[in-house]
Amino acid sequence: METPPTGTRKIIHVDMDAFYASVEQRDDPALRGKPIAVGGGGPRGVVATASYEARLFGVKSAMPGARARRLCPDLLFVKPRFEAYRAASSQIRAIFARFTDIIQPLSLDEAYLDVTANKPGIASATVIAQEIRSMIRDETGLTASAGVSYNKLIAKLASDQNKPDGLCVVRPSEGAAFMARMPVRRIHGVGPVTARRMQALGIETGADLRARDLPFLQQHFGSAAPFYYRAARGEDDRPVHERQERKSVSVEDTFFGDLVAEDALVAEVERIAASLWTRVERSRAYGRTVVLKIKFADFRIITRSKSFTAPVRSPDLLAQTGRALLRAQLPLPMGARLLGLGVHNLDHEESEEPGPQLSLIL
């Protein structure tokens, strides 16, 4: 289908509210109204999703389980049930399909929809978003937040404005003002490290970003500069892709201070492996090759890998391989500022999550 001009498009970004935790609270009345975390609470565990009750204490996704428990001593940890999440996600996708076939899943719990030319012939994307949210609530017992706008960038930002169970609409005439007040750290595509670099240059908001010309941004941010330049102006012509087969699944951690000690490095690889396994299970994309990535204090990057004849289907094997790849490089010539672990050469089993890698900041 030919993509209509950017200003005429109608894009919805739907993001389920605390999806995994909400499914658990829906299915177990004893968990309702209580702070829960889906994931592991042990020394190597990682929070996959926290309920809104837990978020009041500062518990967040990708947080080590031990830290989450310190923040919220009454936190209840629940083992992930990915089959239940996939079942709920399939129900939600079926609701989307009543309105459009142009659906780009980002994960089990969020997706872009292009409803410019929708099946029911509804002129208002806002009405469609309201109907979708109502159907999700009635048919799954879950709540969703939605952002409606004329491009993907703003629709995604808008979906986060009135969470949980909210709706935000940004019209073409409102896009520039919406982006002007947006903190740069919230802009999709600006990671934690880039956000700190921008803040060091006095760039805190979209308005600050817009005040810098393209040569300035190119000088400081290289090839990413055109994206930032256009994002500050509310411009994004990326189409909604109906399906993309991912080639790898990976998790990276960037550290505020370089890591040198072997115990600290091994502990981080184990934590990354736990987070990566959650992502692998969620996406059902099991890989035959495990890849370790190390970025040193001088920004030099090395990768090391190990391949297997069959896909890695055990979290213990994944962690064991990560540790072995790391220990083969010890002692490191200098401190590590980033560690990453990924699986490549994937065997897809109806992968539900074609999104980008998960990036954490410690």
Annotated binding-site residues for Mg(2+) read 15, 109
Task: Read off the pLDDT band of 27 (50, 70, 90).
Answer: very high
- Which residues of 40-185 form beta strands (DSSP E)? 47-50, 76-78, 103-107, 110-114, 144-149, 167-169
Q: What is the mean pLDDT of residues 189-206?
A: 93
Dump pLDDT digits (tens) for 93-118: 999 999 999 999 988 999 999 999 99
Task: Read off the pLDDT band of 360 (50, 70, 90).
Answer: very low
Does the pLDDT of residue 7 top 60, yes or no? no
Annotated binding-site residues read 15, 109
Q: Using CB atoms within 10 Å of the CB of residue 347, give its burial: 0 to 12 exposed, 13 to 18 middle, 19+ buried.
A: middle
Token representation of residue 8: 């005429």
Task: Read off the pLDDT band of 193 (50, 70, 90).
Answer: confident
Residue 352 falls in the annotated catalytic set: no
Task: Read off the pLDDT band of 244 (50, 70, 90).
Answer: low
pLDDT at 243: 67
Q: What is the mean pLDDT of residues 108-133?
A: 96
All domains in the chain, ordered by first residue: 8-17+83-173 (3.30.70.270), 19-81 (3.40.1170.60), 176-232 (1.10.150.20), 248-361 (3.30.1490.100)
Give the span between the Cα atoms of 167 and 164, in whole angstroms.
Answer: 9
Among 142-156, 259-273, 282-296, the range of highest mean pLDDT? 142-156
Q: Do the Cβ atoms of 142 and 87 come closer than 8 Å?
A: no
Does the pLDDT of residue 256 top 90, yes or no? no
Task: Read off the pLDDT band of 284 (50, 70, 90).
Answer: confident
Task: Read off the pLDDT band of 321 (50, 70, 90).
Answer: very high
Dump pLDDT digits (tens) for 161-172: 999 999 999 999
pLDDT at 278: 86
The catalytically annotated residue of 110, 252, 352, 353 is: 110
